[in-house]
Structure 1
Amino acid sequence: MKSSTEVLDGLFETIEARKSASADSSYTASLYAKGRQKITQKVGEEGVELALAGALDNREEIVSESADLIYHMFVLWADAGIKPAEVYQKLAEREGLSGLDEKASRSEKG
């Protein structure tokens, strides 16, 4: 069985590879062809669907919608030229910080 990291890294690599695929043969390529607005719309839809599944306490749907959200988030990252390592680094920088302190530091910057 693959580790969690291998699954996520493999998914991202597949998503990146689909940039050059035909939109007729790949859902991922069709999202790229429709542009960033469509990709971000899908991220939003999946986030709302995950939130609704959580509010309804539907464990199976929470798992399924989480997978959908991660997939669409990865499509957005790839479209924006963001590598997972960049996000992992940001998370590592925040590790050990109080969530309230971290949020306050972002408010002070912006």
Structure 2
Amino acid sequence: MAADARQLDRLFEVIAARKGADASSSYTAKLLSAGVPACAQKLGEEAVETVIAATAGDRKAAISESADLLYHWLVLAAALGIEPADVYAELERREGRSGLDEKAARAER
């Protein structure tokens, strides 16, 4: 099986299935049982670790930390009841639009 973005959807299915499971049974269940603030904090920690690896120029660590970041983003999404497809749809909505125009439109809100 080729590595591609479909793995995110498969991982999300596993994460979502762990929602409400015994917190002692898996790390994912433990994170989810801690609630949205704990999941968000962990995502932030992983984002910082990704940035540190990237600014150090450590490609291998940046790849590893990016995987951790994506996993924790999916955990937070599950905690919030957000499907990855909702985020994909938002990305699609923005496709072809200048990032500068997108930021300006958000500032006007």
**Mapped partners of 2:73, 2:5: distance in 1:** 16
Which consecutive residues of structure 1, in runs of 5 or more, have no partner in the other structure? none
Q: Percent identity?
A: 53
1:82 matched to 2:82: yes
Higher relative contact order (CA 8 A, sep 6+): 2
Structure 1 segment 7-26 matched on structure 2, within 5 A: 7-26=7-26
- Counterpart of 2:86, as a letter, is E
- Give distance in 2, aligned partners of 1:36 and 1:24: 18
Distance 1:8 1:32 in 2: 17
Hey, what does 2:60 align to over in structure 1? 60
- Report the equivalent of 2:106: 106
Q: TM-score, normalised by structure 1?
A: 0.95
**Residues of 2 paired with 1:104 and 1:62: CA distance?**
30
The DSSP-based 3-state class of the residue aligned with 1:97 is: coil
Listed as ranges, the matches of 1:26-65 within 5 Å are: 26-65=26-65
- CA–CA distance in structure 2, aligned partners of residues 3 and 64 of structure 1: 15
TM-superposed deviation, 1:20: 2.8
Divergent runs of 4+, >3 A: none
Alpha-carbon contact 2:20-2:33 (below 8 Å) kept: no
Q: CA RMSD in A?
A: 1.0
